[in-house]
Amino acid sequence: MSEDGLKKMIIAIDGPAGAGKSTIAKMVADKLGLKHIDTGAMYRALALKAMREGKDCTDGKVLIDLLSRSKIEIRADNRCSPAVILLDGEDVSGEIRLPEINHKVSQVAKVPEIRRELVKLQRELAAGGGVVMDGRDIGTIVLPGADIKIYLTASLEERVRRRYHELIQRGSPTSLAETKKQVVDRDRGDRERKTGPLRMAPDAFYLDTTGLTPEEITAKIVRLCDEGG
């Protein structure tokens, strides 16, 4: 693909929890000079606000009111590594990865009104192209016309191991068994919900990353982009 074509490209990356979507999406974006938009961070930021205000995460009306009073921004250009998530101007990039949020976020993401609003916002962010967007429904719902779609996954054991190490590094005490339960529960919730469930788009490339390094995975995706999908 031409350099100009690559700069306008839209890349959608979906997959289950702990597949490494955010890390890989960021690396691909940096390599190709594109913007990275981590849509999970948007759901997480709203879950954090709901938790701070003691709101019921299953009540659509309450959450819509909360969202209408929230400003969620993503700073994900080449100067920010990793991406910075701002909630009402506050940097919550670390806090949104806490285990309590892992637990609440799928409840928030299940609410159709919330998905409708956040999908709208995500499409606006991708307008004009030049983005790598990662999430659960990007290739199927948010950007079905994306130039390249990737379904990124890894074995359950590897995804649990990666998430466990991430949590330990962040200073959140947990166990492998507890991490596994959280990953399995969240995947089930994400796959079984009615609106925007986790699905592989029929025209997506299936990439099993078990045993591969982030650099190897990134190189594979960049090669697909160079070839134009």
Return the number of other C-beta atoms located less than 10 Å from residue 50's C-beta.
Answer: 24
| Interface with ligand CDP (CB under 6 A), residue from 35, 36, 180, 186 | 186
For the bound state, the minimum distance from the C-beta of residue 17 to ligand CDP, rounded and expressed in Å, comes to 4
45-104 binders of ligand CDP (CB under 6 A): none
d(CA 95, CA 53): 15
d(CA 118, CA 109): 10
Find the helix or strand (DSSP H, E) in which 90 lies: strand 90-91
Helix (H, G, I), strand (E, B) or coil at 202: coil
For the bound state, the minimum distance from the C-beta of residue 4 to ligand CDP, rounded and expressed in Å, comes to 28
Cβ atoms of 131 and 36 closer than 8 Å: yes
d(CA 32, CA 225): 9
| Residue 91 or 226 having the CB closest to ligand CDP | 91
| Interface with ligand CDP (CB under 6 A), residue from 22, 153, 182, 218 | 22
| Residue 7 or 193 having the CB closest to ligand CDP | 193
For the bound state, the minimum distance from the C-beta of residue 3 to ligand CDP, rounded and expressed in Å, comes to 29
| Residue of 10, 47, 18 whose CA lies nearest to 162 | 18
Q: Is 139 in the site for ligand CDP (CB under 6 A)?
A: no
Site string for ligand CDP, 119-138 (x = CB under 6 A): ----------------xxxx
Find the helix or strand (DSSP H, E) in which 85 lies: strand 84-87
| Interface with ligand CDP (CB under 6 A), residue from 40, 104, 167, 224 | 40
Give the footprint of ligand CDP on this chain (CB under 6 A).
Answer: 17-18, 21-22, 39-40, 43-44, 105-106, 109, 135-138, 186, 190
